[in-house]
Amino acid sequence: MKSKPNIDAFLEGGAATDRTAKPEAPRADPPREAATPPSEFRKQMVMQLPVALINDLKRRALEQSVSSGKRVTQQQLVEEALKKYLYS
């Protein structure tokens, strides 16, 4: 249950809260992950694809996400496929 607000603090302009304030526990900063800058500049590209291909892409992304336990996006799959096609 919530406690009632301290009316003395309101009437005294907050000075009463200074007297009754609990000491703050030192906060441990959460560990920050090293943000890796993207190695390539990215630019948005919009294209139209057949509906069957889009549905297969969605299904494949979902299947890989479930099997790996990590999020797999449609963009990641398209990038992998294009890199294989263009660079190998």
Structure tokens of 78? 């398209």
pLDDT category of residue 16 using cuts at 50, 70 and 90: low
d(CA 85, CA 25): 56
| Residue pLDDT, tens place only, 3-14 | 877 778 778 776
- Which SS3 state, helix, strand or coil, does residue 4 take? coil
Q: In the prediction, which pLDDT does 79 show? A: 94
Give the tens place of pLDDT for each residue, 17-67. 555 556 666 666 665 555 556 678 889 999 999 999 999 999 999 999 999
Per-residue confidence (pLDDT) for residue 6, from 0 to 100? 78
Look at the block and give the residue holding tokens 């301290």: 6
